Structure 1
């Protein structure tokens, strides 16, 4: 029986396919953050050092960023349904193996393999959802997909915290197994492969391109993950990997342009909407993952919150994004120009960042964060759906998968750049602010002397001798200075991230073509 050209589904089939794809994307993204809260338990259980256990996160991220740009080509090689089903099975089996790892390096290897399956889930899910919905309803399809992308990072920490508090770390992997089995069965039953996917024989496979991609992207991701830990370019390893990343990516791009059967079709970037959408996906990944990374770090390291409390703090914001998604999708379908929604979303994200800058203190409470994070959800809602819809709106056939792969890769890299740059910025700004604060603490100042004397008297009342009491008083003052310096560094982060989004607003208004985009959407609907 000949397979129909159109992959658009209706009724219960579309619902089942959409839910399956969203759940798979959600599983992948949750696994990028859920592990963070389990690292201390893994370290103790497996007898690993802090540096070794951090590879549990790094290995997964490396595999993700390597496989994402190859997903369109792999779908073509094996058929989308088969590739998606195998990716789910690989993710599920490796989840079981991760939970049963007996040493840290076993766990790292299984996490890498799990990441190869997970990265494919993220991008292929977007392609499946996009092609299952009619072109005129792509905004709704992207709203559903984007909801999973935004919810995932927020659900990871509280879910992981709950599992660690009540069970043990292997269960953060075991919970994937029943969901993975069900998703595999539904995929084999309902997902269809498009007719345009044709397998290439071994002589046509761009093995050199695959190698250059793995070397270039893998080196870049390693630099971003480990740069701060290795003190960046003071480390010969980071210098070598940075040079490797530059040359690897340069020759990879050259190879893809000249080879007849490229593993990544760069020519799809000739599409103006996709080109702009890829850049905005990078910026959005920077802001989304950067802010998701900063708030838990701030609340846990400075305010003493648990991972579960930090995750729950962001839950109302995430729920508000869920409410925003269908509203924005309807606005797009009614003809509201996407560039205006994106510009408003970026402006709102700047307001969120500025308000975060103003509320941060050593004693900021969850009540202080509530409305600020709701504003964040409003901004992300206005940003996410228009960017995803615009990126894929004028693509057809296999271009959709290629475009989704580029958008997914840039969102991942944006997040990696965001976390790496913010980590470095916080460390260096903390040192700078500490130096400034210490300069203003004159030991000959009567107020400083009075404060030290008070704390020393309190220490002596607890039984310490005068020298020890005075040393402890100076230690307490030094700790207070360090805490204030750290608060100031986080304030700087929010301010500069907000400025970055605000600066992008005029470029969005100038570069995104409203009239042309409407025509293309109308053409795509036919």
Structure 2
């Protein structure tokens, strides 16, 4: 491949350390905001006078806007330059965070979250490309491991910080905390990288492709989010959204594969490593993130946990992830990337299978133990799969490859959240019906339970029936969540073959993971 200019040399010493911290903080800030609002949704919904179902749009609109904007990274990099784009995205993200914090109602908050998600699009793929360019090639796995730590810790720290801030201060501060972080990250990044700006060139934007992308992603996301409220395909709105999503997606595929300057380079999927690695990491992330949203919600609604307590239960996920990620980056053999990723998926499957034993009166330790152990497969997750995905990509294609793979991953995370929530609701309703099939006044066991509740708790008949219904609802929700855990464990096992359709990654055994057979 012919290049007009040699890439700048790797950074060294204190500059490399400071640059890594700044780029990592920008990544952390972005990833944190994908989950920090999770435990605060009940509080935000209550303060803004909306239902919890409406409040979950705070999560999904951010993820959908983020997913739509990520594929623009390659085009924006060519037009603006990598460093200008990265720093500009950080500053706009910081501004959008402030707008989220001052939002007086849900519509304003949702608009601010859409803006926040949209400007955050380039942050993840650009942080990968910038870190890889800052380290020597033989240290590429170390760079990816450091990036993976921030990508891993963000969703973990989100519920903890979100719960603590919401209970101790105000939900607005879950957005305000981005302001000092963003200013610091942007300032340091510009100071260290402003003279390492990549070449720019004016390339036409694929307006038709962008419009089709927004149409099918937006239609599909709205359909998934509103399907439960509108009773799915019995609603004309859902039918129209489904048809729109299918048609615009097919048109998007045809257009992008025939356009000379596509907004999304779908030809990357012709590469075996990119295809297998991207699908594997995206499905795995969808399952992980969907469950990450459900767990705090279940603990708050049915176990009476405060927001901060729900966050503390999920926080141990970061212990092994933080401890093991640097080790994985240092000692991962490029040729063993597929094996390490397989071990990660087996670990995830085991953890979710452990959670299928949850009961309504579960103690905190049995909630924490699977979460603690989940940190082990998390540490083995991002580094090998990212190495596989980016293997064989020339420097000029790194931003495109990272952008497209992250687009699929983030979009799948948004879809996974919607599907997990909808399926949990469906399974809860199903189990509630089954549990109450015998709940009639004429049934001896039911009548005996109502009489016992009245006698022991001194309740009137209406209160005794209300207590029975609350008990059944909690049990049905638990059984429904166990179903989600069973399916999650099975999905991790089913996607393991995707890892093995990829080619083994070449390297020198010291961390280089950018070349494939």
TM superposition shift of 1:356? 0.7
CA-atom RMSD in angstroms: 2.7
TM superposition shift of 1:497? 0.7
Q: How many residues are aligned here? A: 512
The answer to whether the aligner puts 1:350 opposite 2:349 as a matched pair is: yes
Contact 1:287-1:497 within 8 A present in 2 as well: yes
- TM score, norm. by length of structure 1: 0.90
The answer to whether the aligner puts 1:503 opposite 2:494 as a matched pair is: yes
CA distance in structure 1 between the aligned counterparts of 2:313 and 2:514, rounded to whole angstroms? 44
Choose 406-415 or 441-450, whichever is displaced more: 441-450
Superposition pairs of residues 105-120 of structure 1, within 5 angstroms: 105-120=107-122
The answer to whether the aligner puts 1:308 opposite 2:298 as a matched pair is: no
Superposition pairs of residues 375-524 of structure 1, within 5 angstroms: 375-441=373-439, 446-458=444-456, 461=458, 469-509=460-500, 511-514=501-504, 524=515
CA distance in structure 2 between the aligned counterparts of 1:178 and 1:94, rounded to whole angstroms? 13
Choose 437-446 or 61-70, whichever is displaced more: 437-446
CA distance in structure 1 between the aligned counterparts of 2:221 and 2:391, rounded to whole angstroms? 29
Aligned counterpart in structure 1 of residue 75 of structure 2, from 67, 73, 92: 73
Contact 1:81-1:193 within 8 A present in 2 as well: no
Contact 1:43-1:49 within 8 A present in 2 as well: yes
More helix by share: 1
Contact 1:154-1:315 within 8 A present in 2 as well: yes
CA distance in structure 2 between the aligned counterparts of 1:194 and 1:205, rounded to whole angstroms? 25
CA distance in structure 1 between the aligned counterparts of 2:150 and 2:389, rounded to whole angstroms? 18
CA distance in structure 1 between the aligned counterparts of 2:125 and 2:513, rounded to whole angstroms? 25
CA distance in structure 2 between the aligned counterparts of 1:247 and 1:492, rounded to whole angstroms? 32
Listed as ranges, the gaps of 5+ residues in structure 1 are: none
Q: Secondary structure at the match of 1:116?
A: helix
TM superposition shift of 1:41? 4.8
TM superposition shift of 1:65? 1.3
Listed as ranges, the gaps of 5+ residues in structure 2 are: none
TM superposition shift of 1:103? 4.0
CA distance in structure 1 between the aligned counterparts of 2:107 and 2:285, rounded to whole angstroms? 29
Choose 7-16 or 514-523, whichever is displaced more: 514-523
CA distance in structure 2 between the aligned counterparts of 1:515 and 1:142, rounded to whole angstroms? 15
- TM score, norm. by length of structure 2: 0.91
Aligned to 1:130: 132
CA distance in structure 1 between the aligned counterparts of 2:175 and 2:226, rounded to whole angstroms? 24
CA distance in structure 1 between the aligned counterparts of 2:168 and 2:505, rounded to whole angstroms? 55
Choose 516-525 or 294-303, whichever is displaced more: 516-525
Please give the per-residue CA displacement for 1:264-316, whole angstroms capped at 9, x wherever unaligned.
Answer: 22222232211111101211212220221222122112211112111111212
Summarize the Cα distance change of 1:498–1:192 in structure 2 as closer, same or farther, 3 Å threshold: farther
Q: Secondary structure at the match of 1:337?
A: helix
Summarize the Cα distance change of 1:196–1:261 in structure 2 as closer, same or farther, 3 Å threshold: farther
Please give the per-residue CA displacement for 1:76-112, whole angstroms capped at 9, x wherever unaligned.
Answer: 1110111111111111122222223344433332222
CA distance in structure 2 between the aligned counterparts of 1:139 and 1:391, rounded to whole angstroms? 13
CA distance in structure 1 between the aligned counterparts of 2:446 and 2:498, rounded to whole angstroms? 50
Summarize the Cα distance change of 1:103–1:310 in structure 2 as closer, same or farther, 3 Å threshold: closer
CA distance in structure 2 between the aligned counterparts of 1:81 and 1:309, rounded to whole angstroms? 40
CA distance in structure 1 between the aligned counterparts of 2:433 and 2:51, rounded to whole angstroms? 31
CA distance in structure 1 between the aligned counterparts of 2:46 and 2:475, rounded to whole angstroms? 32
Aligned to 1:141: 143
Q: Secondary structure at the match of 2:323?
A: helix
CA distance in structure 2 between the aligned counterparts of 1:141 and 1:200, rounded to whole angstroms? 30
Contact 1:434-1:481 within 8 A present in 2 as well: yes
TM superposition shift of 1:198? 3.3
Summarize the Cα distance change of 1:247–1:43 in structure 2 as closer, same or farther, 3 Å threshold: same
Choose 221-230 or 369-378, whichever is displaced more: 221-230
Summarize the Cα distance change of 1:442–1:214 in structure 2 as closer, same or farther, 3 Å threshold: closer
Contact 2:160-2:315 within 8 A present in 1 as well: no
CA distance in structure 2 between the aligned counterparts of 1:253 and 1:300, rounded to whole angstroms? 42
CA distance in structure 1 between the aligned counterparts of 2:317 and 2:49, rounded to whole angstroms? 37
